[in-house]
A and B are shown apart, each in its own frame.
Chain A
Amino acid sequence: MSTSTAAEDAGTAATGAPSVVARKPLLERLSAGGRGGVTLVSAPAGSGKTVVLRSWLDQAGVGDRAAWVTVERGEQDAQRFWLSVIEELRAAVGADAFVETLAPTPAFDGAAVVERLLAELGSLDEPVVLVIDDLEELAAPEAQAQLEILLARRPPLLHVVLATRHDPQLGLHRLRLAGELTEIRAADLRFTLEEASELLAGSGVLLSDEGVAQLHGRTEGWVAGLRLAALSLAGHPDPDRFVAEFSGSERAVADYLLAEVLERQPDSVRRLLLRTSIVERVNGALADVLTGAYGSEGILLELERVNAFVVALDTTRTWFRYHSLFADLLRLELRRSESDVVDGLHHAAAEWYAKHGNVVESIRHAQAAEDWAYAARLFADHSIGLFYRGQRATSRALLAAFPSDALGDPELILHSAMESLVGGSPEDVEAGIDFAVHNSSAVPPERLHRFEVKVGALRLALARRRGDLGAVLGEMQSLSALLDEQPPGEIALGNEVRAGTLLNLGIAEVWSSRPEEAERHLEKALELARRIEAPYIEVRCLTHLGVLSGLHGSFAIGRERTMEAIAVAEANGWASEAFVGVAPAALAGIEVSQGRFEEAHSWLERAEQAFRAELEPAAELLLHVVRGLLRTAQGRHQEALDAFRAAARLEALLVSPHALGVATRGFLVQALVRLGDAAAARVTLAEMTEEDRDWGETRIALASLHLAEGHAQAAVEALAPVFDGSAPALKLATVQAFLLDALAHDQLGDTPGSEGSIERALQHAEPDGIVFPFVITPVQALLERHPRHRTAHAALLSDILDLLAGSSPPAPAGHRPQLREELSDSELRVLRYLPSNLSAAEIGNELYLSVSTIKTHMRHIYVKLGVHRRTEAVDRARQLGLLAPSARWR
């Protein structure tokens, strides 16, 4: 995206080049439209929109608080557009006032991004201008809809200016009716005779008044025409004659004048102009390659200096861009005069870009040269990188640019199949792989290895998505072998594929209860992801390592890992993309287990916001189970049952048993028991497989049914295999088993047996601070009677009793953080209002302070608490005891 500021462009004028014609009435209209309105500048190519806006920003002194986004040619990538908008707004508003950043991800969610942007802009306290230039180039359909939303709900201090060649479909008529739209159209932008005079004089053109009038008449005040004329007329021996001839011609204005300009240029300049017209941006080095000459940089700088439709893209003045109309005309002239060199130029550009790491441009130019084989190779080599770097839309657009007969290329087919993996059906992916492999004889021998690695990686990803661990393991073995025999030149490709492959395998192993392998592979993937700087992979590794610890390891580590996953995601600005929901879900599970139900509730909410239906079933299952557990703790047993049922339905979609599958069914039965539906509980138990019945969770469910029906002895017998190790269970279930056993023994009048079980429950619960089973099993009386002086777990026992009595749960062990810097009294006063729905302005009313003071306090609070959002500040403050916990559930 073009990021030069208005100040830099105005600098062009300051270097003694033809000055920009001051256009006061227009500038005044632009400023007038700035009361938080929308300004539409809609006029054909070459009307001078960009120049007017740049000079307005500079003259009106808002250059510092202006965000300028130029839409790329044919922009198909909504994510890239919004990334620019956010980046530019952030620079304009100031990084500490505008906290959100956004790194690209494969899972971009435009609607969510716009929501967050609106929320962020809602706390603006000074006006800001957002200019979107070349809006007509925005071809990504979702981006337009999202922009419409932004416009409709923009905050009062945001002035949006849209510069475009034709009126956009953004609901502007509504704004027009409401009087919130300022329009500047072609007629407004045309130069008056006086302005034309000024332009010509400023360019050092000596033309009679008649001549000026003639020129103005012929061009009808069209700015591009006048500027082209000025270029030809400056230093022309007979300006009036030139104008007379021009007026007498019937040719289209730009056409005629450009030809004149070109004719008057020295050969080197003409050659440069024509040959570099094929690239969107050019620097001296690239221009030298394209012209086959030296000294291009000097020519470009001079062209820029005389305002010949060449603009420097940054303060260093190394990269330049032509005005698009100018470039289009040059390109056409090149095709006319030297059509045989065009393909060669594109090819040279493709090679240059490839060498300089600009993947997308190199592929585009290879395609423009119609060298499909070369383009396909470039694409195949880089598209995985593009995927992980969140440039999927661009990648898709590049793929779509291949002609249908080139699509028989097996490497391209493979990439199409990869595309189908996210958002397509497994059958499509499978068909694509098969077809690609079937045609693999067309792959050049030196690329065959790479091809096979990708086939293996794709098969692995597909198997994982289906939950087919057997197939995953098979693929991994052959893929490992392939990766090991890799020739050194392929390292870069290998790392990305390797990291993604290890990740996929690790995830499959997590859900299929193979914790050691999962840990090993995920750790490796994590290390690699960090080394190659692939945060998307890093987040997913951390997430699943967290799930793993939650299931089999220590809760403390699980908490650490999931929080780190969330932190990395946030650092990259990812908060609502689907893959981001898994870590909060896992963390919610840990919180529920430790009896921190309120925290669990907010993490669960966060997870649910991010999850979409298309997310993989294995992860979604976790979400439902956690919800079910939380509802059980809250006494909402029907909802708990619904959640476990949803989880059970998902399990049916998977090929291998899910790590939480048995737990799901076990808890489902327990929910039925709690709802008093013993019959349904019995039926469900009867429907379980032999294998299921060997698991602890099933035995526990059975025991709970027996206890509900008063068969204490049967319950004890049902639980025995859990204790002798023949029916393994997850930690949570094991603790519950002891509690049920204690209840059973109590019902049988066996007090020592009951106390023994309580003690063992506490013993198993202590290391991870497991509290949940104590809440959902009616053992409060037993706990109260438990002899304190004989227990080794008095502290835990107290905490649990406190919790059951209704006071707040303990902070997790080792997590009573200290504030590095205390909050001031005024900050504490503001903090107390944060849990409410009151806006900053409303809080200001309550405290008799201005909005900006409130916001300043809020910013300081966030920094001191180490958070980015109001809800997080509330959570954190509660953790630190700065805020009272909210009402407890029973």
Chain B
Amino acid sequence: MDDYVESAHYEIRVRGVLSEALLGAFPSLDAGARDGETVLAGTLADQAALYGVLAQIEALGLDLIEVRRARS
């Protein structure tokens, strides 16, 4: 049996520093701000969870800059 695991560690970078209120939209991720950008990092269960986060970013009118993934 393959030991393929769906969940992965993601880093999602958006433009702008996010306030506490805005960060409340991403409770499952940690945030770090740098150079006028915010990196939301954390483990997401699967692709659906990732798209959920991206949809939230879209809904809030934020600029998505980069999505990075590493095996967790």
Contacts and interface: CB of A to CB of B under 8 A. Distances in A.
Interface string A124-159: 000000000000100000000000000000000000
B24 A251 contact: no
B22 A255 contact: yes
B60 A325 contact: yes
Interface stretch (A56-64, A328-336, A630-638, A843-851): A328-336
B20 A336 contact: yes
A252 B22 contact: yes
A343 to B, nearest CB: 15
A252 B24 contact: no
A252 B17 CA distance: 5
A254 B61 contact: yes
Given A250-B36, A255-B22, A335-B24, A328 B59 contact: yes
A332 B33 contact: no
Contacts of A165: 58-59
Interface string B22-54: 101100000001001010000000000000000
A187 interface: no
A324 interface: yes
Given A250-B36, A336-B24, A259 B61 contact: no
Interface residues of A, number: 26
A44 interface: yes
B59 A325 contact: yes
Contact of B60 (A136, A329, A335, A337): A329
A774 B28 CA distance: 79
Contacts of A46: 61
A224 interface: yes
Given A45-B59, A166-B58, A254-B60, A332 B25 contact: yes
Given A250-B16, A253-B16, A224 B61 contact: yes
A45 B18 contact: no
Given A329-B22, A332-B21, A250 B60 contact: no
Interface residues of B, number: 19
A251 B61 contact: no
Contacts of B59: 45, 165, 324-325, 328
A245 to B, nearest CB: 14
A604 to B, nearest CB: 47
Interface string A242-264: 00000001111111100100000
Nearest to A44: B61
A632 to B, nearest CB: 57
Residue of A46, A224, A332, A337 with most partner-chain B CB within 10 A: A332
Interface string B1-27: 000000000000011111111101100
B62 interface: yes
Given A250-B36, A253-B16, A333 B58 contact: no
B16 A251 contact: yes
A384 B45 CA distance: 36
A333 B16 contact: no
A322 to B, nearest CB: 13
A222 B62 CA distance: 11
Given A329-B22, A332-B22, A332-B24, A251 B58 contact: no
Contact of A251 (B19, B25, B60): B19
Given A332-B22, A332-B24, A252 B62 contact: yes
Given A44-B58, A252-B62, A324-B59, A329 B17 contact: no
B65 to A, nearest CB: 12
Residue of A45, A251, A254, A335 with most partner-chain B CB within 10 A: A251
A419 B15 CA distance: 45
A251 B20 CA distance: 11
Contacts of B61: 44-46, 222, 224, 254, 325
Interface of A: 44-46, 136, 165-166, 222, 224, 249-256, 259, 324-325, 328-329, 332-333, 335-337
Q: Top 9 closest A-B pairs, CB basis?
A: A252-B16, A45-B61, A336-B21, A250-B36, A333-B21, A332-B21, A250-B17, A46-B61, A251-B17
19 contacts: A136-B58, A165-B58, A250-B17, A250-B33, A251-B19, A252-B15, A252-B18, A252-B19, A252-B22, A252-B60, A253-B16, A255-B22, A259-B19, A325-B60, A328-B59, A329-B60, A336-B20, A336-B21, A337-B21
Interface of B: 14-22, 24-25, 33, 36, 38, 58-62
